[in-house]
Structure 1
């Protein structure tokens, strides 16, 4: 044999030896032995854990703590959570159908299982180890053990204890007793722990009087109490909870607990509106709820907050808060007869006041009292801001350097056609809004249009800027994207917004175009965690030049325009009125160099379920426009909040304030039967060839006769005609009678 053959033989022997070694290491016998060994090890560990872990004493009540809420100066505002809102009831009190609804929703096999769901527990352990959050699939027994004996901590050790204790509890406790404990300890939202408190909170009845349909809703609610509460749920939340309600009833049919025919007759039981907990009377409940909402947005869940132990300091200035409450009482509530006048009974007031340099909410008015009207009128977003939106149209025009149909750059001195019911030019969507009282104006400047809130001018301006560009500017400044169409009618504020939202928007103008986000929580601290506070001041969302030019325009609105009720030499002010379609809402949004405050009145039906109604006739007056009660409240509050006045003045870069203009009067006051002047042709409606972003002194100090309203027809001699702006009917048809000031 040669050397080459010898080397090949040695290589083959080495390879055979290697394969034999691998085979020897991974034989089926060794693999099975290892597997069974691991199983025995896990079983042994579990037996040891089972022997080691005892069922502990109940801890929920003993560890309950208060949450403390303070004003910005550290004085006490409220104390909540000192006791659990719970009344223990026997299972026999709860109707059998309601008991079955909870079992059907949470754990169909409850009466048959051993108290644990191994798959669900394993999934929960994996989720915890991987950081994916809460587990799913726990049995009723496991949830009861977690609520009654353990904590809400998402840790592996807690979950293992839950598993062991659940097995022991299931062996030593009757199923009915476990179910009773579960129903009495679980949290339902609205501050209600236990089924008795939940029945009162959602339906105003005792647990014994709940029907199957109501029980199915409460059972469905447990999956996400804050998201599924019908009073505050989003459209998605309402859809999901209705689906889970139906799922619960279907499971009851499957288990033989509910007849199919009866199931078909059941309708969704809409809960009653929530009421504030005791101790939350007056404005306290609104302030605490606003703080809780901000904490939730910052990651402090309702469950975490309900566990107690939080010290929450608000940005609310105690003196300014009291002044705002007093101003609403003096300027509005003392003028109303809520018990004897049906219209007065529908009036709801809301207000938010913000420091434009920091974003701090220094005062807030939510309504007559949180125990009487729980929904906060300061933060609700179901009414339209009306003509308080017009300054944002101008801001967008300035920011985008937009031009008129005639090619003129839009500024305060730019001339428009002010003919009432004039169809806009250049829009695919027809729109011809009516000016207030159907008054037409001959070639008013943009400044004059702002003073008089001339709809025809701003409707055309939206088209010139484009609705999409106006919307982009508005969203950047803080208007919520809620029912916000991209159509010419947005000039009339046809989206939804709250006084909180608009106070931030106007504070952004006040802050020279830097974004201001209202924030009410100064700090929120717990013994083992703290909330990251909201930064109230953001980046530049519109240029200082644009913001200051709008401020310049709005100072004249207060000086001689629709907001003159707020005019005083005690402070520098800029603002805008707004009155929505059918007089359902009246707004005054205004600011000084130190405060941005928005006040609004809403017409809300006193019938169950509410609904928007007109404010016309409030306090036996005519139309309750933004220049009336809201402006008076704003002026009284601002004077008091600034300590009787302020020497601070607007620092308007590149914009001259000019002199106070002379108030115009219509050139003619025809009788009710007179015919309005004809709408001019497009040629006569074009702006002048020499626009000016800053009005000349002649423009601001006096008006030539040609700028006077050409006609003053009076379609409504009683003075109760609908205001100018508001939601348009479908299609925004030309000539629709929408007015405002």
Structure 2
């Protein structure tokens, strides 16, 4: 009854429920509207952004004309111009040969394993995209703008364009051009052609000879000794992993030896295999078998490359040019100095520089004078035997122009074929006493601590510091002459005890153990080493190249102005555009007065001939050449391991290091043999180009040099009395001219010199006490006076 009674009756919802349902519907509809508005807004903003992006892209590439297929083929096929190295007169030294060995092969000679490995690792969408992957480009753009995430995203095609056509700049304009060109490449070449080009041009590190290699054929041959068509799966995976970081992943160093840690390359190989497995290029079984494969057993052992017929000249000029271009490329890519100093980055940019120089149609003009260089090579071939003492002695020589720093010629060694090590630029040997002019005497003069005739103790003394403390300081032939020598006498005899006293005096007076290095040696690019603080530093225990020694003497011969020695004058392309031009950067290291006094002192080294008969040997060969204004200094290290002689005229500096390659001792005649050889070398240079030596030029004392008449006995002001052992003694009256760059002599006193103990001074003053014997010596007969005068003349 109830149901029947309800039929047709209108049912009215409860008021509360009806209101909730209404609001729910409103909310839903509002949300739907908002979503539609949001979607519309996003589409509008996306379209606007796309429009702006496309507009900006068009702006960035507006100056880029799409290349033709032929133009692309030339660029991607590495069509290059020949480059050359040249002498100073622009005549050719040699055509630049690239140490980047590449052999291009057609696609059908490249294993499918290699193609699959590279695609799986570098560009998994290679066979799907048209040159670029938009989402990857967007991801890279966001990363570039925000600095968050990885900025990678280049396809194989983009990498090909970047390597062969564009630079390494990280600008939007370059990236836009990369995208445009990548799409053009895809239009004009098949996928197989593109991957073949990529595999033929990419760098693959080094081979077992230490040579830089590019292209999969060189990689397969240089690492495994097989063709690129014959590599197995793990070998292909290893090769495919190399382009990401060729130097780090390569199994070899630049000498062909195995890297200390091969794990970097092997781990990269495993990553490539996993990428291939993930990409379904290989089965699980193939993946696991390849992982277990002992790839190191396949690496070729170190090999020996053929000797370079170009020799020292080619390698030196090319090496210096590579350093210059590598630094330019790194600067263009905004590589920090810290990163550039790391071996991996530096070697990478050297490789880039080598490719650029070898293939860019450049002329590298050196400072080397062709005739002088050849005469120096003939001299070492003809007279190098003079250095031998029963065993073969090696030699390095540098001829430098003083006022510019130009290296006019050099000798890298006796014979490149038997020993290609460059003893002029690469070999570092202990400097010996040849370092004393720039590290000891010039700083002491420059600070006004001594004049040319000031006295320095050569009394026996012991080392005060270090592991040799308490042991005697030895001169070349004795443990001290038991007197006070003049500054001139100490450098003429090359005595070590006075040099030690002078060096310590400078450091103590200036209050810094690094004063000499910080204020003088650093300005001349001497190596930064703690050795300069050692008590033994004046004896030349630090290791230097022959070039570095030459540059120090160049500074003194050039009125105290350092001009860094250089061998590259310019680098220009085939159209004459300048890639590099040397610019002088002179540094006034010593005052002109100091430099002129040093040259006067070093003139005495050669004229007195105590340590070297160089000048007499030279006069025997050519009187005019021997009468040039030569100055110089010798240097010998313990047991005559190293023999140095560096000489200068006002125009040039000529240096010589000689010694055994194995660092074993020679004998006490090493200096005599060096002098004989150097005389013949200098004469060969003179006979080739007489004007180079400047036989008529003279070293003159600078106008700011102060000349004082000082007591010959003390080096102080003449006259006066001193008290010795409670006895008043008159200072001997005989005077001599003393040259001072700064300051001047002090008044006479008991302790008149540098170094020495009270007992040493008391002993020396005994010579001033009148006795019958020294009175007779003080008034020599007239005949003896004449002979003495003749010797002074």
Q: TM-score range by the shorter chain?
A: 0.5 to 0.7
Contact 1:367–1:373 (Cα < 8 Å) also in 2: yes
Q: Deviations over 1:360-382 (max 9, x none)?
A: 11112223465664443221153
Q: SS in structure 1 opposite 2:455?
A: coil
Cα distance in 1 between the residues matched to 2:138 and 2:641 = 55
Q: Deviations over 1:297-355 (max 9, x none)?
A: 56694343233211222221222212222222222157769xxx7x42xx432222111
Cα distance in 1 between the residues matched to 2:535 and 2:135 = 56
- 2:487 maps to 446
The answer to whether structure 1 residue 219 and structure 2 residue 242 are counterparts is yes
Cα distance in 1 between the residues matched to 2:554 and 2:252 = 32
Cα distance in 2 between the residues matched to 1:186 and 1:64 = 21
Cα distance in 1 between the residues matched to 2:54 and 2:554 = 66
Q: Deviations over 1:493-543 (max 9, x none)?
A: 233322222222211101111121112222221237413423335131211
Instruction: Give unmatched runs, 5+ long, in structure 2.
Output: 1-33, 275-286, 331-352, 508-512, 620-625, 710-754, 766-776, 781-793
Kindly state the Cα deviation for residue 274 of structure 1 after the two structures are TM-superposed: 7.3
- 1:353 maps to 399
2:462 corresponds to which of 423, 432, 436: 423
Change (3 A) 1:543 1:119: farther
Change (3 A) 1:66 1:614: same
Written as runs of structure 1 = structure 2, the 5 A alignment for 1:185-196 is 192-194=213-215
Cα distance in 1 between the residues matched to 2:640 and 2:199 = 52
Kindly state the Cα deviation for residue 580 of structure 1 after the two structures are TM-superposed: 3.2
Contact 2:631–2:648 (Cα < 8 Å) also in 1: yes
Written as runs of structure 1 = structure 2, the 5 A alignment for 1:130-529 is 138=154, 142-147=158-163, 150-152=165-167, 154=169, 155-161=174-180, 163-164=182-183, 172-173=191-192, 177=196, 180-182=199-201, 192-194=213-215, 219=242, 230=253, 246-254=263-271, 255=273, 277=308, 280-281=310-311, 283-296=313-326, 301-333=353-385, 343-344=391-392, 347-368=393-414, 373-392=419-438, 393-401=440-448, 409-419=449-459, 422-424=461-463, 430=469, 432-443=472-483, 444-466=485-507, 467-472=513-518, 473-481=520-528, 484-526=531-573, 527=575, 529=577
The answer to whether structure 1 residue 647 and structure 2 residue 657 are counterparts is no
Cα distance in 1 between the residues matched to 2:419 and 2:137 = 43
Contact 2:251–2:265 (Cα < 8 Å) also in 1: no
Cα distance in 2 between the residues matched to 1:643 and 1:175 = 61
Contact 1:385–1:494 (Cα < 8 Å) also in 2: yes
2:666 corresponds to which of 611, 616, 627: 616
Instruction: Give unmatched runs, 5+ long, in structure 1.
Output: 1-23, 402-408, 605-611, 659-679, 691-701, 706-741
- 1:533 maps to 581
- 1:596 maps to 653
Cα distance in 2 between the residues matched to 1:556 and 1:268 = 62
Change (3 A) 1:178 1:656: same
Contact 1:111–1:175 (Cα < 8 Å) also in 2: no
The answer to whether structure 1 residue 543 and structure 2 residue 555 are counterparts is no
Kindly state the Cα deviation for residue 595 of structure 1 after the two structures are TM-superposed: 0.4
Kindly state the Cα deviation for residue 259 of structure 1 after the two structures are TM-superposed: 7.9
The answer to whether structure 1 residue 586 and structure 2 residue 635 are counterparts is no
Cα distance in 1 between the residues matched to 2:237 and 2:498 = 53
Greater helix proportion: 2
Cα distance in 2 between the residues matched to 1:491 and 1:268 = 50
**Greater Cα radius of gyration, structure 1 or 2:** 2
Cα distance in 2 between the residues matched to 1:488 and 1:310 = 49
Q: SS in structure 2 opposite 1:59?
A: helix
Contact 2:203–2:246 (Cα < 8 Å) also in 1: no
- 2:43 maps to 33
Q: SS in structure 2 opposite 1:555?
A: helix
Q: SS in structure 1 opposite 2:696?
A: coil
Q: SS in structure 1 opposite 2:633?
A: strand
Kindly state the Cα deviation for residue 548 of structure 1 after the two structures are TM-superposed: 1.6
Contact 2:398–2:411 (Cα < 8 Å) also in 1: yes
Kindly state the Cα deviation for residue 156 of structure 1 after the two structures are TM-superposed: 3.5
Contact 2:551–2:565 (Cα < 8 Å) also in 1: yes
Aligned length: 605
Cα distance in 2 between the residues matched to 1:117 and 1:561 = 79
Q: SS in structure 2 opposite 1:330?
A: helix
Kindly state the Cα deviation for residue 122 of structure 1 after the two structures are TM-superposed: 6.6
Kindly state the Cα deviation for residue 596 of structure 1 after the two structures are TM-superposed: 1.1
Change (3 A) 1:427 1:554: farther
Change (3 A) 1:224 1:186: closer
- 1:728 maps to none
Q: SS in structure 1 opposite 2:364?
A: strand
Kindly state the Cα deviation for residue 388 of structure 1 after the two structures are TM-superposed: 1.5
Change (3 A) 1:656 1:187: farther
Cα distance in 2 between the residues matched to 1:376 and 1:590 = 21
Cα distance in 2 between the residues matched to 1:204 and 1:554 = 60
Cα distance in 2 between the residues matched to 1:284 and 1:566 = 33
Q: SS in structure 1 opposite 2:430?
A: coil
Cα distance in 2 between the residues matched to 1:108 and 1:70 = 46
Cα distance in 2 between the residues matched to 1:250 and 1:629 = 59
Kindly state the Cα deviation for residue 469 of structure 1 after the two structures are TM-superposed: 1.5
- 2:632 maps to 575
Contact 1:203–1:272 (Cα < 8 Å) also in 2: no
